[in-house]
Amino acid sequence: MAFEGLSSKLQEAFKKLKGKGKLTEKDVKDAMREVKLALLEADVNYKVVKDFINTVSERSVGQEVMESLTPAQHVIKIVNEELVTLMGKTESKLNVSSMPPTIIMFVGLQGAGKTTMTGKLALYLKKHNKKPLLVAADVYRPAAIKQLQVLGNQIDVPVFSLGDKVSPVDIAKAGVENAKKIGADYVIIDTAGRLHIDEQLMDELKNIKEAINPNDIMLVVDAMTGQDAVNVAEQFNASLDITGVILTKLDGDTRGGAALSIRAVTGKPIKFAGVGEKLSDLEVFHPDRMASRILG
Ligand code: GDP
């Protein structure tokens, strides 16, 4: 289960507060030290942790009296609220174009789960009575086009491809035109991933972005990679000004670092989460539900 270690450590920290009727400044300070360690062990970005602890400490020490809550409950409430804020407060929706089709460009490193996620999002849209089109613009990985076609078949969503001899920019442009022709209201473009970020990859993605002017540039990152995912997000954001992040593999034993740091570090919202290998394993990312899951 995701966040397991973090959850149990936070609960441990709060347990000590619960036995006390009144909290002294030292009680709060001790608890915050434990919360801090728990977050750092969960691989949350150091600066994010520092700011978080400062905010929670300030609010907890100067806490207004609430008759319905014990002091410990009040601290937990503040931690919950600040976790929600850290992850973006409310859910963040897709940017929908006023003139269809809405163009969604998927970017990310190889293995992050990008191609699978294009299928998941297409299925999600279909369930919401939309008509998506998948576009295969990864011409480098030999099996990528085929993989997308198999996914499309499984969910009965059309896949646009021009093979692997045409440039990704031209495929993306033709894909958008094709969406208009067949009356698709969403175009989801799967672009190439690499094992590492390199200039050539970024240049190609920039060219695609310029050519099709997407409504959303969605970065797919693997939550299991913790702060690496955050670094990847920072770099993609610096080059492409992404509009959203999708965290995959949140079903695994991810420690939580990516989910808790990405929004604060990049300023970009997490819009969806992948929670399994099946195409239906997609969740809208709700910061409040995620915080409840973390606090257990
Ligand atoms: P790409 O290289 O980024 O296109 O990655 P793929 O879509 O090919 O996925 C890489 C691997 O991760 C595959 O084995 C997927 O089944 C797996 N995968 C993708 N998303 C998830 C997820 O949310 N949870 C789990 N457990 N596995 C996933």
Task: Specify the residue with its C-alpha closest to ligand 1, atom 5.
Answer: 113
CB 72 within 8 A of CB 195: no
> How high is the ipTM of this complex?
0.99
CB 227 within 8 A of CB 49: no
pLDDT value of residue 67: 63
Cα 13 from Cα 34, distance rounded (Å): 6
- The pLDDT mean for the chain works out to 94
Please state which of the ranges 14-28, 171-185, 202-216, 234-248 shows the lowest mean pLDDT. 14-28
List pLDDT tens digits, range 128-180.
999 999 999 999 987 999 999 999 999 999 999 999 999 999 999 999 999 99
> What percentage of the chain reaches a pLDDT higher than 70?
97
Task: Specify the residue with its C-alpha closest to ligand 1, atom 6.
Answer: 113
What is the best residue among 151, 205, 248, 280 to mutate for testing ligand 1's pocket, by most ligand atoms within 8 Å of CB? Answer: 248
pTM score, whole prediction: 0.95
Task: Specify the residue with its C-alpha closest to ligand 1, atom 19.
Answer: 113
CB of residue 161 inside a 6 A radius of ligand 1: no
Cα 10 from Cα 107, distance rounded (Å): 34
CB of residue 116 inside a 6 A radius of ligand 1: yes
pLDDT value of residue 17: 87
Over 80: is that where the pLDDT of 62 sits? no
CB of residue 144 inside a 6 A radius of ligand 1: no
- Going from the Cα of 123 to the center of ligand 1, the distance in angstroms, rounded, reads 16
pLDDT value of residue 296: 83
- Going from the Cα of 258 to the center of ligand 1, the distance in angstroms, rounded, reads 17
Outline where DSSP puts E strands in 112-238: 132-137, 159-160, 186-191, 216-222
Over 90: is that where the pLDDT of 1 sits? no
CA 213, distance to chain mean position in Å, is 22
